[in-house]
Amino acid sequence: MSTDTTHRSTTHGPDTHRNGVDTATLFATLDAVKAAPAAARFQFRAHNTWQSGTHSRSTISDFFGVGEERVHEREFVFDADHPAVLVGQDRGPTPVEMLLHALAACLTAGIANIASARGVTLTSVRSTVTGDIDLNGILGLQPVRNGYSGVGVRFVVEGDAPEDVLRGIVEQSRSRSAVFDVMTTGVPVDIEVEVA
């Protein structure tokens, strides 16, 4: 193979970093997990410490995956609080707002991965996620649920593919989204309490 051919292949062949996604590594990872399915068992963790009032702080760093304990490249620190109108100090977003961020981020990461795998170059993916909630539930004042009654996601997607292809990418992301699954279906949550 001549240098010219190699060069042509690099510039005009499949872009292995389309959309900033390393598709070669993505496909290699899929093959590796196919060969060793236990590698896909992960445990994620958040460590939270109450600060004052409704303000608490979580650190996210350690997790388990691909057979061993791992850490993120840096420790991520997040605050949460209630705004003044909900008798907090507004030192962070409310916990329910973090759910909306998680949903948008999960769907968007999927869109980028799937677009790349399908050879589509994205130019913009924006979304607004809204969650409607009647706080009479958590206040114990009316027989309504504690959580959101409904969540809406509105995506605006731009890329070098026809509309139906771009819509198909969003749909495939939805059908494989971990956060969408948890938020629409629920997950068993076990709470243990130790009194110090």
Does residue 34 belong to the site contacting a second copy (CB under 8 A)?
yes
Closer of 1 and 156 to a second copy (Cβ): 156
Closer of 13 and 81 to a second copy (Cβ): 81
Please list every residue from 70 through 109 that binds a second copy, using CB under 8 A. 70, 72-74, 76, 78, 80-90, 92-109
Query: Each residue of 175-192: b (16+ CB within 10 Å) or e?
Result: eebebbeebeeeeeeeee
Closer of 12 and 74 to a second copy (Cβ): 74
Identified binder of a second copy from the candidate list 41, 119, 121, 160, rule CB under 8 A: 41
Please list every residue from 122 through 151 that binds a second copy, using CB under 8 A. 122, 124-142, 145-151
Where do we find the tokens 């791992």?
Answer: 70
Does residue 184 belong to the site contacting a second copy (CB under 8 A)?
yes
Contact assessment for residue 120 and residue 169, using Cβ atoms and an 8 Å cutoff: yes
CA 41, distance to chain mean position in Å, is 17
Least gap, CB of 13 to a second copy (angstroms): 20
Pairing relationship of beta strands 150-159 and 55-65 according to DSSP bridges: unpaired
- Applying CB under 8 A, the site for a second copy has a residue count of 132
Closer of 4 and 192 to a second copy (Cβ): 192
Distance CA 14, CA 173 (A): 22
Distance CA 24, CA 97 (A): 35
Distance CA 58, CA 49 (A): 6
Does residue 174 belong to the site contacting a second copy (CB under 8 A)?
yes
